[in-house]
Amino acid sequence: MATSLGRIFRSFQSISSVSFMKTELIHPPASSSFRTSSVFSILSLPLPFSSKSRDFSLPNSSWNSEMKRLYEHYNSQCEVESEDGEKQKGLWRRLPSYNRSLKYATGGVYLSKLIQSKARLFTRNIKEQGAAFEYVLFNNEEEQRCVGIFQAGHLLEGPPGNVHGGAIATIIDTVTGTHATLLSGTVMTANLNINYRSPIPLGGTVHIESSLDRKEGRKTFLSCRVTSTDGSKLHTEATALFVSINVSTMLLGG
């Protein structure tokens, strides 16, 4: 199977050169071409995007007032105005989010039909807005921090009226995994250690912050805290270990 996929990718190269966006979300040079060693993960968003692709990180009608407030708080810091009135890049950057990155690459629609065509990102596979995972991530490269604003929908219930622990673990893995990818390229979760402190109500909004502890070779160690939006209540805290991997191993199963 791995050999067959390898032939598919090599054949596809002769048809179309696929340029991928690096995790810093900067457009690559026009000469960039698809290589199995290129940085690729659910966070490595390809360009150009299809005009029909939906960016799930943008506000929608299901977002409550607190979700919108925090979005505006961080989004307003993504671009600042200089003394002479020019717009400049701020400390924070909003990270686009799609239900499947591969589909939106140049020519990626063909690859997405060959590689598990029905696959969708786990946290973005519900069409109903507000029903499950509503979240947006912002990254601060200078401070090596990544924050997530998360609103839990009614399909994520565990204990009556509260969010399931597995859903909380999923969003923590999403935020820390995104952060680790931005810091270290393609990674896999090696360890996720979670301490649940207080329940998260369904429909509620929480603030998730991932921070870098250290890097050791291929290993990236992170800490994460899930708090109420005003920071007064600690819901969950976690530590995470991610290990850098060779992308050809992930794509071709080698």
What residues are annotated to the active site? 173
Q: Which residues make Cβ contacts (< 8 Å) with residue 70, sequence separation at least 6? A: 149, 205, 207, 229
The enclosing H or E element of 68 equals helix 65-75
Q: What are phi and psi of 112, to 5 degrees?
A: -65, -25
Taking alpha carbons only, the member of 94, 98, 241 closest to residue 173 is 241
Cα→Cα distances 157→54, 153, 161, 167, 218, Å: 26, 8, 7, 9, 36
Is the C-alpha dihedral spanning 212, 59, 151, 50 positive or negative? negative
